[in-house]
């Protein structure tokens, strides 16, 4: 039988004990059928370890543990500052374990340590932010005349099912857990099958932080055999999902056909990044790099469609190519690496296929366009020019280090182009003219607009999509609305 802990030595010499079990009711357990699956490090293609795979009976056990914690303990009803204290402690522990967590993320996901450290910092900051919210949930007293007292309370929903992707394994776990736990809910969280390791490590920190058994259950498994069971489960009252639009649509159907679970979705994108003639060209080029090559382009809000005004097109392209030439792609554990590997063979193949599609569609390959080396899933930063709006590489999410660049003339024209998408997650714009910045921000159809910056997050600022990019918001005060329900109480005097 496979052990519940394996000792791992990371390529940078850091050593740690990796849990492999299912985290149910505060303990790591083997799955009921004893099934495991292998975890591959995408930068070396070597097997790291195996983890236990949750199937239906394991999901049921996790949901039962969560329901028990919700119904039969004080978790949801106690002074909420106790929950805040657990989250504060968790934030501190994440910081104390930052180097191990960052290393696990680079090993499991392939992202550079530079990116992993950023994720860990955002993760602890977010837990701390949620801790501060725990004892600030309030209702209203509504004046309905002196014969009644009418007021509202915000109450937790109960057992949540949370399904997360592989591009930001630890950070997405924190975006899901933070508001859910601050508001007194309990959860069964499923990690993505290609990146289960950092969330399993987090489980030990959850115990140390004082979260009672059953409040958080974290399980590894696949979409169809684990995720689907969560989505259909009659005791799960809310689903929070991040991933592809196709799977999001499926999950919403499952929620509808089971017990009308509340659903929040954070889905795909094809976000425009607009550079106007009056932009600071050097800064814009840097933000274009951050926009599309950060995290190897595996970012839902990646600035994957660049629109550049004609007056600076040639100069900007030179700057952009120069910045790409200075960008180190390779070993995620090399301190100077910016772009690590893609996360899986599947994702590598998808991206290479899109590069082929772009060439066949007649786009001009300006730079990149191929895999690097034969081991590890590395792809050269890639720019396509001479594109038009009907090309698949302009319309579809590639989720890799591939960007298109299009020339435009007027503000009205670029707004039309930018908004011509089924998605609406984010948009970027670069200008030194404040009036233009505000006007264009107002007219872009996107849940986030970045001005003279890109992929720039803060715990207090909500994030989520317009159109087919999602439903609901994460982070900011808005996230807490998605984890509470309003009760109105009306007392006749
Ligand atoms: P996916 O949406 O299928 O997977 C995300 C999560 O959903 C994983 O945990 C997976 O196990 C789970 N899942 C899959 N099928 C499920 C089902 N039937 N029921 C319940 N859960 C299920 O994404 P993918 O196939 O790994 O990647 C496909 C594309 O999705 C990528 O190329 C990218 O374009 C997009 N993507 C977007 C994000 C994002 O942050 N918005 C993240 C990952 C992938």
Q: Which residues line ligand 1 (CB under 6 A)?
A: 163-165, 167, 190, 192-193, 222-224, 227-228, 231, 242-244, 247, 250-251, 266-268, 300, 350, 397, 399
Model confidence pLDDT, tens digit, residues 167-196? 999 999 999 999 999 999 999 999 999 999
Please tell me the predicted confidence (pLDDT) of residue 10.
Answer: 97
Of 51, 161, 223, the residue with max ligand 1 atoms within 8 A of its CB, to mutate for a pocket test, comes to 223
Mutate to test the pocket of ligand 1, among 244, 304, 398 (most ligand atoms within 8 A of CB): 244
Name the residues annotated as catalytic: 266
> What's the longest Cα–Cα distance across the chain?
77
Distance of alpha carbon 355 from alpha carbon 384, whole angstroms: 9
- Please say whether the beta carbons of 32 and 3 come within 8 A: no
Task: Find the length of the chain.
Answer: 493
Tell me, yes or no, if the pTM score tops 0.95.
Answer: yes
pLDDT tens for the chain, residues 1 to 493: 999 999 999 999 999 999 999 999 999 999 999 999 999 999 999 999 999 999 999 999 999 999 999 999 999 999 999 999 999 999 999 999 999 999 999 999 999 999 999 999 999 999 999 999 999 999 999 999 999 999 999 999 999 999 999 999 999 999 999 999 999 999 999 999 999 999 999 999 999 999 999 999 999 999 999 999 999 999 999 999 999 999 999 999 999 999 999 999 999 999 999 999 999 999 999 999 999 999 999 999 999 999 999 999 999 999 999 999 999 999 999 999 999 999 999 999 999 999 999 999 999 999 999 999 989 999 999 999 999 999 999 999 999 999 999 999 999 999 999 999 999 999 999 999 999 999 999 999 999 999 999 999 999 999 999 999 999 999 999 999 999 999 999 999 9
Checking ipTM against 0.90, whether it exceeds it is yes
Nearest to 404 by CA among 423, 421, 391, 422: 391
pLDDT in tens, 361-405: 999 999 999 999 989 999 999 999 999 999 999 999 999 999 999
Q: Whose CA is nearest to atom 16 of ligand 1?
A: 223
- What is the radius of gyration, based on Cα positions, of the chain? 23
Residue 397 pLDDT:
97
Q: DSSP per residue over 423-481, as a string? A: --SEEEEE-S-HHHHHHHHHHS-SSEEEES--S---TTS-B--SGGGEES-BSTTHHHH
d(CA 231, CA 251): 6
d(CA 131, CA 94): 14
């Amino acid at each position: 039988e496979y052990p519940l802990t394996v000792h791992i030595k990371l390529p940078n010499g850091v050593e740690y004990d990796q849990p492999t079990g299912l985290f149910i009711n505060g303990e790591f357990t083997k799955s009921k059928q004893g099934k495991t699956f292998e975890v591959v490090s995408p930068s070396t293609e070597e097997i790291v370890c195996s983890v236990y795979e949750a199937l239906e009976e394991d999901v049921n056990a996790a949901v039962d543990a969560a329901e028990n914690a919700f119904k039969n303990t004080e978790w949801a009803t106690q002074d909420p500052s106790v929950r805040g204290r657990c989250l504060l402690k968790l934030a501190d522990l994440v910081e104390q374990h930052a180097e191990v967590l960052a290393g696990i993320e680079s090993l499991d996901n392939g992202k550079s340590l530079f990116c992993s450290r950023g994720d860990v910092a955002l993760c602890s900051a977010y837990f701390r932010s949620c801790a501060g919210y725990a004892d600030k949930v309030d209702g209203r007293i509504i004046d309905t005349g002196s014969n009644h007292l009418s007021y509202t309370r915000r109450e937790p929903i109960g057992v949540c099912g949370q399904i997360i992707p592989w591009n930001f394994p630890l950070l997405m776990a924190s975006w899901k857990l933070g508001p859910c736990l601050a508001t007194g809910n309990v959860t069964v969280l499923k990690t993505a099958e290609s990146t289960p390791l950092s969330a399993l490590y987090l489980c030990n920190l959850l115990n140390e932080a004082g979260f009672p058994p059953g409040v958080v259950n974290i399980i590894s498994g696949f979409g169809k055999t684990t995720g689907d069971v969560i989505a259909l489960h009659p005791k799960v009252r809310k689903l929070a999902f991040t991933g592809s639009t196709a799977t999001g649509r499926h999950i919403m159907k499952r929620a509808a056909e089971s017990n009308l679970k509340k659903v929040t979705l954070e889905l795909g994108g094809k976000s425009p990044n607009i550079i106007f003639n009056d932009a600071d060209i050097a800064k814009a080029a840097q933000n274009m790099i951050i926009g599309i090559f950060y995290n190897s382009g595996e970012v839902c809000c990646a600035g994957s469609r660049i629109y550049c005004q004609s007056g600076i097109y040639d100069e900007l392209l030179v700057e952009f190519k120069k910045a790409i030439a200075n960008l180190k792609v390779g070993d995620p554990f090399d301190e100077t690496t910016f772009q690590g590997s893609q996360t899986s063979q599947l994702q590598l193949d998808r991206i290479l296929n899109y590069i082929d599609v772009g060439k066949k569609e007649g786009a001009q390959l300006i730079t990149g366009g191929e895999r690097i080396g034969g081991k590890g899933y590395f792809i050269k930063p890639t720019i396509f020019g001479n594109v038009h709006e009907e090309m698949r590489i302009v319309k579809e999410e590639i989720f890799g280090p591939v960007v298109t660049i299009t020339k435009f003339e007027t503000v009205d024209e670029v707004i039309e182009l930018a908004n011509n998408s089924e998605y609406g997650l984010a948009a970027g714009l670069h200008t030194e003219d404040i009036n233009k910045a505000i006007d264009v921000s107002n007219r872009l159809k996107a849940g986030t607009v970045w001005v003279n910056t890109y992929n720039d997050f803060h715990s207090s600022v909500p994030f989520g999509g317009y159109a087919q990019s999602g439903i609901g918001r994460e982070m900011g005060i808005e996230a807490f609305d998605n984890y509470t329900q309003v009760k109105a109480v009306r007392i006749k005097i």
